[in-house]
Amino acid sequence: MPDRTSTDEADGPPACLALHGLGGGPFELGPIVKALERAGCRSSAPILPGHSVTGRVMPASNWADWISTAEAGFDELAASGRPVVVVGFSTGGTLALLLATRRPVARLILLAPFLAIRHSGLIPVHPSAYLRPIARFLPDIPRRSPPVRDPEARRVLGSVARFETFSLRATLSALDLIEHVKPLVPEISTPTLILQGRLDSVVDPAGAVWLAGHLGSARKSLLYLSRSDHLLTLDRDRDRAVAAAVAFALGRDEEDRDSIVNDP
């Protein structure tokens, strides 16, 4: 069953749909969700298909099932009559972009959106060209250590029960999702906040720059977090990341024009 928490109010602050990343779970966006709930927001943090089971091996799953779950979560929240803000982390950010082309998303908050694998530009072929044949013979690969720079967060995450492997088939589906979404980006007019760690070791930070430049929205901001790796809400700039996300979700930001905010 999806992992959801909610308040009972039918009006007031916006509702929030939180979409986690590939191989992760709702904990990746937990600090933002909890902060929004304290502000009176109703929230939903569904576990995407292929992520709800326990065990050593991560199951294969695909983006068609992930977006179906995201759409169902959005529709449930929208039934309350509140505007729905969508917060997406990594592959959840890519899903959030697609959702904005299918549903009336009030605002998008994208943390380290997955638009390219880190350092993939050093190889002169698309990652799927070499990952697809590998996946036929080696569908699962060992999982790396948590992508955070904060030592305490790394210690805590290292003790959390997680898949010990990563599904290459699910990864290939996430790459297919990127190819499906990128041509749609200029059509997206939803106000958007993008948060990106400069030390990200999973996704290419250049993807955030590309996204900020190509989104059709007239209201978009890119905030760099200079001390953080991929898991922004749990790393060294977590307080700043959560504060910026909550302010944007609640409409407390004051920018009415395109802006790129660089971390000093």
pLDDT tens for residues 2-19? 334 333 444 589 999 999
Question: Helices 63-78 and 91-100: crossing angle, nearest 10°?
Answer: 60
Residue 3 resides in a domain: no
Residues 188-215 have pLDDT tens digits of: 999 999 999 999 999 999 999 999 999 9
Mean pLDDT of 70-89: 97
Mean pLDDT of the chain, nearest integer:
88
Residues 220-254 have pLDDT tens digits of: 999 999 999 999 999 999 999 999 999 999 998 75
Residue 9 resides in a domain: no
Residue 5 resides in a domain: no
Residue 10 resides in a domain: no
Residue 1 resides in a domain: no
Give the number of residues written for the chain: 264
pLDDT of residue 141: 87
Q: List the CATH number of the domain containing 114.
A: 3.40.50.1820
Residue 54 resides in a domain: yes
- Report the SS3 class of residue 157: helix
Residue 7 resides in a domain: no
Residues 100-137 have pLDDT tens digits of: 999 999 999 999 999 999 865 545 557 776 677 777 78
Strands 192-197 and 220-225: parallel
CA distances from 149 to 22, 90, 145, 163, 222 (A): 20, 17, 11, 21, 21
Q: What is the DSSP string of 47-76?
A: PPTTSS--SSSPPP--HHHHHHHHHHHHHH
Number of domain units in the chain: 1
Q: Which residue has the tokens 């576990």?
A: 47
CB–CB of 126/133 below 8 Å?
Answer: no
Which has the closest alpha carbon to 192: 129, 100, 78, 70? 100
Residue 8 resides in a domain: no
Q: Which residue has the tokens 């928490």?
A: 5
pLDDT of residue 130: 60
Backbone angles phi, psi at 24, to 5 degrees: -110, -140
What is the C-alpha to C-alpha distance for residues 12 and 183, in angstroms, rounded to an integer? 35
Domain, as residue range, for 86: 15-261
What is the C-alpha to C-alpha distance for residues 29 and 11, in angstroms, rounded to an integer? 23
